[in-house]
């Protein structure tokens, strides 16, 4: 495990290199601005709010925004816990962040609030406009939830939406578990009027008791389903991510089918699900959850994630078949990203896919994926940054 943590993380190249030293120094200077139950909030100065994600295998780019570093929801499986490691000062720095930021629990107990976010976004978008790149996808909430509870007091995410609501031609994909997004329906409607917008509400399980153990401070599943319905009633393209699917817990046909049925009932624009992706930094927290609540699955998890973070291909294909079957049963649309990931099509030497958001609305899934190369498992995380699909 120590050797694994020592390796550079090539899946998230934006976090590599000298920039990490600057992050550590900024975190060291971060002043406390608020406190909550077993959590501390600190102000983080940033140079930019848009982060560029570049896949070494796929020749397209996407931008991500995370208004916060760290997340109060405390999801046991969260792959982003490792990002706090980069907030520690580099060896030799005079200032040092409070020891323990490398601990998995620090991600949900030490939350950093990015300062001057709206002003930074204005500058970033102006730069993209000068470069004629405003058409490139922006993903909001890829590592931390933009509407976690502190957002009620800080309004950082809302300030970012206000900036985007004044622009034309953006492509924004949002991922959240929070019902607080309903507060900003007015801005989401304006963004949707002027740009391309897709909202993803993550609902890992409809079982409230299980959800409380798995995502201890996130809103109840039924409240998230209600949020999907309200966003759809407001005319906003909103789908459900039934992710991650947990081996032996939520990955069975009955569980997936039930979630798909609920997606249909709230008029979700699409239904998608991905298997558990368990980085080494997430394993202590998630394995403790398994030991506490599903001890009979301990051996299976240790074996499954002994040598890799991703689910193996046969398992992914089995889950995909279950998801597709449920989509057909309830007349749900698939998310275009997933349709691409799960179909072998075209010349393996073909070029990388064009922007998903640029695809015509009336084209079939098969038509949209023709001629595209199926990516390897290591590409899937990069591709998840592209959050667009074509049906209302």
Q: Which of 39, 21, 108, 97 is nearest to 69 (CA)?
A: 108
Q: Cβ atoms within 10 A of the Cβ of 260, count?
A: 25
Once rounded to an integer, what is the mean pLDDT over residues 281-298?
94
Segment 188-201, tens digit of pLDDT: 999 999 999 999 99
Is pTM, for the whole model, over 0.75?
yes
Least confident of 94-103, 145-154, 253-262, 342-351: 342-351
Q: How far is CA 258 from the centre of its chain?
A: 23
94 vs 285, higher pLDDT:
285
Once rounded to an integer, what is the mean pLDDT over residues 245-271?
98
Contacts of 325 (CB under 8 A, 6+ apart): 253, 257
Question: What element of type H or E holds 188?
Answer: helix 185-194
Contacts of 42 (CB under 8 A, 6+ apart): 27, 30, 31, 32, 33, 110, 111, 112, 113
Burial class (CB in 10 A: 0-12, 13-18, 19+), 194: middle
150 vs 367, higher pLDDT:
150
Q: Cβ atoms within 10 A of the Cβ of 20, count?
A: 16
Task: State residue 230's pLDDT score.
Answer: 98
Once rounded to an integer, what is the mean pLDDT over residues 68-93?
74
């Amino acid at each position: 495990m120590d050797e694994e943590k020592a390796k550079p993380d090539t899946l998230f190249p934006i976090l590599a290199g000298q920039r990490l030293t600057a992050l550590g120094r900024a975190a060291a200077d971060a002043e406390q601005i608020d406190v909550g139950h077993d959590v501390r909030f600190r102000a983080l100065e940033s140079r930019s709010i848009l982060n560029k994600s570049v896949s070494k295998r796929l020749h397209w780019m996407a931008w991500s925004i995370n208004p916060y570093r760290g997340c109060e929801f405390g999801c046991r499986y969260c792959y982003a816990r490792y990002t706090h490691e980069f907030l520690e000062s580099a060896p030799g720095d005079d200032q040092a962040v409070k020891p323990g930021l490398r601990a998995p629990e620090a991600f949900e107990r030490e939350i950093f609030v990015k300062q001057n976010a709206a002003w930074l976004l204005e500058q970033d978008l102006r730069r993209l406009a000068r470069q004629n790149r405003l058409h490139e996808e922006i993903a909001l909430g890829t590592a931390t939830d933009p509407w976690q509870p502190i957002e009620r007091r800080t309004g950082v995410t809302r300030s970012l939406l206000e900036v985007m609501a004044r622009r034309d031609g953006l492509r924004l994909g949002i991922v959240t578990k929070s019902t607080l997004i309903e507060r900003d329906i007015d801005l989401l409607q304006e963004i949707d009027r002027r740009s391309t917008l897709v909202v993803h509400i993550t609902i890992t399980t409809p079982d409230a008791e299980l959800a409380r153990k798995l995502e201890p401070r996130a809103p109840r599943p039924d409240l998230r389903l209600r949020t999907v319905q309200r966003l759809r009633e407001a005319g906003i393209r909103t789908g459900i991510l039934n992710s991650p699917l947990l081996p032996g817990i939520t990955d069975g046909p009955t569980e997936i089918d039930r979630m798909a049925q609920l997606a249909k009932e709230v008029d979700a624009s699409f239904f998608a699900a991905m298997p558990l992706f368990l980085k080494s930094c997430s394993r202590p927290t998630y394995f403790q959850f398994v030991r506490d609540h599903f001890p009979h699955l301990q051996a299976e998890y240790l074996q499954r994630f002994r040598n890799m973070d991703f689910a193996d291909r046969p398992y992914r294909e089995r889950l995909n078949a279950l998801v597709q079957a449920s989509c057909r049963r309830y007349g749900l649309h698939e998310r275009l990203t997933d349709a691409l990931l799960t179909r072998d099509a075209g010349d393996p030497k073909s070029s990388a896919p064009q922007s998903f958001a640029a695809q015509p609305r009336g084209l079939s899934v098969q038509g949209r994926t023709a001629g595209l190369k199926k990516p390897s498992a290591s590409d899937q995380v990069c591709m998840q940054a592209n959050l667009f699909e074509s049906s209302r």
